[in-house]
Structure 1
Amino acid sequence: MSTQTVVPNNKTSFATAQRVNQSLTAALEKRALTWMAERAPRWLTSDQLTALGFAAQIGAGAGYALSRYDHRFLLLVAVCITLNWFGDSMDGTLARVRHQQRPRYGFYVDHIVDILGAVALMCGLGLSGFAHWWVTIAMLVAFLLLAGESYLATYTLSRFELSQGLFGPTELRILLIAGTLALLRDPHAHIFGHNVLLFDLGGAIAAACMFALVIVLSMRHTAQLYREEPLG
């Protein structure tokens, strides 16, 4: 008596999640990215854009670390964050415009690169002296928790939410660039008669918001999945 092992065909069974982006700049950004993708040179590939985005995020982390010795490196950080937006946003758009989507590969590579890039960015910020280590670690932990929740929700609900309310990755990059350039003028914030590091204040607020968002989304998605998969 022989037995057969059935191996699922992952290429056909993988379901691409619905992408949802309702951020403030989403509509304009989509039109701009599509316009650039349609005019991109043929030699440019989505993999090259992913590599550019990753290298730029590492460059931003290095720029923060070097700004401890020369504040002009903050300008490099701003440029690198912009390049990170271009590479990270354009890679998927280019693949869709050219009908070269690789859903499993693209989802995995994009997000492992985001995780590694976030670690590099926060380590660089911690080394810069513009924020205390506890703040950068709190931001990194909160980001990783939020990312993990997002990936689990994408898998279980087939819905990939790129934004929460009016804020998405692009809006966060804009805020980070604005804050970085503000450091050139004054690295401190003056609040209630006290001087605190600008990025300590902003980072603590960002971390608190991300932690709160993780709790809210976890409860919402758990309740949704419970309703869709009741015990009885």
Structure 2
Amino acid sequence: MNRIHNSIVGAVERRALNWLVRRLPSFVTPDALTAFGIFGAALTLIGYLLTAWSPGFLWLACLGLIFHWFGDSLDGTLARFRQIERPRYGYFLDQTVDVIGNLLICLGMGLSAYVRLDIALLALSGYHALSIYSLVKACVSRDFHISIIGFGPTEMRILIIVMNVNIFLFGAPMLTMGPLTMTWCDVTLLLMTAGFFALFVYLVFDYAGHLARDENSSPRSDGR
């Protein structure tokens, strides 16, 4: 399967990962990095929960996101660098563990004082809809796109860190919008979620049309 990574920060990220992977001690394994990524997601959850006592714990949540990036991005890179790839195992483990990590992060956001839980989980569902599209397309085309229109997991972590920094600097006061009470974080996530689902619908219909045209023009077209 071909891995295609054309995200906004992809080139810089690849250079950073290549630099890091050459300096990891031999006892660090890809599976250990995968576990470290989950630890980072759990640390993010804890950081968000502790913001009930002080917004300063937003920095702990940011550190957790950095740890999550470190483990999630380096595990496959290390396996390829050491030529110890297990393609099916690695692909399966990486994609399933991502579900746990993403859930921990979004639960943390939703259980903090800054984001409503229902909105955080709605944003997670929109993000996972795009992830599912990418995974299903990979099964059909054998091309695994890590990012969509330039955005991938790393860009999402950066956006969350930027949101955390802005909360720490400027706060997140409640806004009344008709019957709803939300923060600017809620509004931002709702707009992002609407974008996720709109993009998902467009991509599904666009690629389904492409596949239909391709198979209808083939010598044999026996339906599904």
TM-score by length of 2: 0.89
The answer to whether residue 99 in structure 2 is matched with residue 115 in structure 1 is yes
In 2, distance between residues paired with 1:55 and 1:223? Answer: 41
* Residue 18 (structure 1) shift: 1.3
Distance 1:225 1:128, change over 3 A: same
- Matched AA of 1:147: S
Which among 2, 5, 16 is matched to residue 32 of structure 1?
A: 16
Aligned identity (percent) is 33
Structure 1 ranges of 4+ moved more than 4 A: none
Once the 2 structures are TM-superposed, how far is the Cα of residue 121 of structure 1 from its aligned partner?
1.4
Residue 55 (structure 1) aligned to one of 34, 39, 45:
39
Question: Do structure 1's residue 96 and structure 2's residue 64 form an aligned pair?
Answer: no
The unaligned stretches of length 5 or more in structure 2 are 176-180
2:51 maps to 1:67? yes
Cα deviations by residue, 1:151-196 (Å, 9 ceiling, x for unpaired): 11111111111112232221221111111111112233799xxx95
**Does the aligned pair in 1 maintain the 2:116–2:182 contact within 8 Å?**
no
Q: Conserved in 2, the CA contact under 8 Å of 1:187 and 1:198?
A: no
Q: What's the secondary structure of 1:163's corresponding residue?
A: coil
| 1:212 pairs with 2:201 | no
Aligned residue among 119, 136, 140 for 2:124:
140
Partner of 1:229, secondary structure, is helix
Question: Aligned equivalents of 1:214 and 1:187: distance in 2?
Answer: 32
**Aligned residue number for residue 168 of structure 1:** 152
Aligned length, in residue pairs:
215
TM-fit CA distance, 1:68: 2.1
The root-mean-square deviation of aligned C-alpha atoms, in Å, is 2.1
Residue 21 of structure 1 pairs with residue 5 of structure 2: yes
1:33 alignment partner AA: L
Preserved contact between residue 68 and residue 127 of structure 1 (Cα < 8 Å): no
Which position in structure 1 is the counterpart of 2:89?
Answer: 105
Q: Match for 2:79: what amino acid?
A: A
Is this contact kept in 1: 2:37–2:70, CA < 8 A?
yes
Contact in 2 for aligned 1:65/1:127 (Cα 8 Å)? yes
Q: Over residues 191-210 of structure 1, what are the superposed CA-to-partner deviations in whole Å (9 max), with x where a residue is unaligned?
A: 9xxx9513112211211111
Q: What is the SS of the residue equivalent to 1:76?
A: helix
Flag structure 1 segments of 5+ consecutive residues without an equivalent: 1-16
Aligned to 1:224: 210
SS of corresponding position for 1:19:
strand
Q: 2:189 aligns with which of 188, 191, 203?
A: 203
Cα distance in 2 for residues equivalent to 1:188 and 1:67: 12
Report deviation, 1:133: 2.3
> How far apart, in 1, do the equivalents of 2:57 and 2:75 lie?
27
Q: Is this contact kept in 2: 1:61–1:124, CA < 8 A?
A: yes
For residues 100-123 of structure 1, what are the alpha-carbon distances to aligned partners after superposition, in whole Å with 9 as ceiling and x for unaligned? 111111111111111111111111
